[in-house]
């Protein structure tokens, strides 16, 4: 693969490097609940500091709608970053244009999305904002994999404004994702969950000819059950996708792909942590205690066992999307079973970012239990769909 890396930037001693990280971590009451993305940014930052550079870190956090909002401040991220780096981090709380000279080997600017130009549809507005960011550095390193599918000022135009290269995180992500699409060791299994099947159609379409098994869980499973002619009660359903799903079921059969849809489901009386619930056959969800008002919130134990067996016997596994509402203990068993099986894979196991990464950590799994945990759910999916990602193309990416 072709990609401009840090080595292409030459001697960095004494230079200022603007580094686009993805520090979009979850916060609760101003406290970071999962610092995985901060930890993922460390190798690139430590490499640059080790080469004598000063680093100016930039990132977004949440969706503050283009204006300052205290609950989306990066200040707590700066504190945690300093703890992990073992050195002070100078936090600049204000717009880049007003910052002036800033001191310190590590500087963190305030949330990029406090300025509407960061995500503007107007290329000129984005370029103007990128120019303000470029004033902080001699070169630019792009390392926020979670945003490379977006044409945003700090991702695209900034890479044009300064000599630019990819950081180690992006390089690692691409190496893993390239293996998933171009040279996966067989048997190759993809596990897809999450709420909407419409979010995963492109991945299914692109990967079906490449995989041996495709396992379907999460809220999207009910559209598959509906495509098989089953009633799904009050479960999440995208009725407008049923015909497409029927097409994928037919195509999987033609290709010899084992497309596995749950045979049992945990059905609840309502969407709540303390809801009454029972296990129902997937073809008779409405025949239980809750009738047509029952809501499926997890794959059942029979399905979880089968999924785990398929995953554990594979040599390559990509998983994106939880199997159920893992945030509620009563509906986390399916996700936990898949995660446990994934941790036992004798080969390449990839957790595809987003909710999947949050799930495995919240369920007590360590990052090193898996071959790779992606930092970019949406970017990972678009890459696996075969789409061109602007934040990679501007760095010279060619598969």
55 and 190 part of one domain: no
Alpha-carbon distance of 42 to 36, in angstroms, equals: 10
Alpha-carbon distance of 188 to 320, in angstroms, equals: 14
Sequence ranges of the binding site: 22-24, 37, 60-63, 113, 150, 200, 296, 327, 353-356
Indicate whether 357 pLDDT > 90. no
Q: Any idea which residues carry the catalytic annotation?
A: 37, 196, 354, 378
pLDDT in tens, 312-352: 999 999 999 999 999 999 999 999 999 999 999 999 999 98
pLDDT band at 67 (very low <50, low <70, confident <90, very high): very high
Helices (H), the chain: 36-50, 75-85, 123-134, 158-161, 168-182, 201-207, 221-227, 242-255, 301-312, 333-343, 354-362, 377-384, 390-393
310 and 366 part of one domain: yes
Instruction: For residue 203, give Cα distances in angstroms to 186, 211, 248.
Output: 18, 11, 11
Asked if residue 294 belongs to a domain, the reply is yes
Sequence ranges of the binding site for substrate: 22-24, 37, 60-63, 113, 150
Domain that holds residue 368: 177-385
- At 375 the pLDDT is 84
Alpha-carbon distance of 357 to 375, in angstroms, equals: 8
Cis omega (within 30 of 0) for bond into 187: yes
Full strand arrangement of the beta sheet holding 213-216: 258-260, 213-216, 188-192, 316-320, 348-351, 372-373
pLDDT in tens, 109-118: 999 999 999 9
Distance of CA 372 to the CA centre of its chain: 12
243 and 120 part of one domain: no
Asked if residue 29 belongs to a domain, the reply is yes
Taking the model in full, what pTM does it have? 0.89
Sequence ranges of the binding site for (2R)-3-phosphoglycerate: 37, 113, 150
| The residue to which tokens 């990509």 are assigned | 318
Indicate whether 197 pLDDT > 90. no
Give me 298's structure tokens.
Answer: 């997890």
- At 1 the pLDDT is 59
pLDDT in tens, 89-98: 999 998 888 8
Within 10 Å of residue 309's Cβ, how many Cβ atoms? 11
How many domains are contained in the chain? 2
100 and 192 part of one domain: no
pLDDT band at 262 (very low <50, low <70, confident <90, very high): very high
186 and 324 part of one domain: yes
């Amino acid at each position: 693969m072709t990609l401009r890396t840090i080595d292409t930037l030459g001697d960095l001693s004494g230079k200022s490097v603007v580094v686009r990280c993805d520090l979009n971590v979850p916060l609760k009451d101003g406290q970071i609940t999962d610092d995985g993305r901060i930890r993922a940014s460390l190798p690139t930052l430590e490499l640059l500091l080790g080469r004598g550079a000063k680093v100016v870190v930039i990132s977004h956090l949440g969706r503050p709608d283009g204006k300052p909002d205290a609950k989306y401040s990066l200040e707590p991220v700066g504190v945690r970053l300093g703890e992990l780096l073992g050195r002070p981090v100078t936090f600049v709380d204000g717009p880049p244009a007003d910052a002036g000279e800033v001191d310190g080997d590590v500087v963190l600017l305030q949330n990029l999305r406090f300025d509407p130009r960061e995500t503007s549809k107007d290329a000129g507005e984005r370029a103007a904002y990128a120019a303000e960011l470029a004033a902080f550095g001699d070169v630019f390193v792009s390392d926020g994999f979670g945003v490379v599918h977006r044409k945003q000022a700090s991702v695209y135009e900034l890479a044009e404004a300064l000599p630019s290269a990819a950081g180690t995180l992006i390089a690692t992500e691409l190496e893993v994702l390239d293996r998933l699409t171009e040279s996966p060791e067989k048997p190759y299994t993809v596990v897809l969950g999450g709420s909407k099947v419409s979010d995963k159609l492109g991945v299914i379409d692109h990967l079906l000819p490449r995989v041996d098994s495709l396992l379907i869980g999460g809220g999207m499973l009910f559209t598959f059950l509906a495509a098989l002619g089953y009633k799904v009660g009050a479960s999440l359903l995208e009725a407008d996708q049923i015909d497409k799903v029927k097409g994928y079921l037919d195509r999987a059969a033609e290709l010899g792909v084992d497309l596995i849809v749950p045979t049992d489901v945990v059905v609840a009386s309502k969407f709540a942590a303390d809801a009454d619930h029972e296990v129902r056959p997937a073809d008779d969800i409405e025949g239980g205690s809750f009738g047509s008002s029952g809501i499926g919130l997890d794959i059942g134990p029979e399905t979880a066992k089968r999924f785990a067996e398929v995953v554990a016997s594979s040599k390559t596994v990509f998983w994106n999307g939880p199997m159920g509402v893992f945030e509620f203990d009563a509906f986390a068993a399916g996700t936990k079973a898949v995660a446990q099986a994934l941790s036992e894979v004798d080969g390449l196991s990839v957790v595809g970012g987003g909710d999947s990464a949050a799930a495995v950590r919240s369920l007590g799994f360590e990052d090193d239990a898996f071959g790779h945990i992606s930092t970019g759910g949406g970017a990972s999916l678009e890459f696996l769909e075969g789409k061109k990602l602007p934040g990679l193309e501007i760095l010279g990416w060619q598969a």
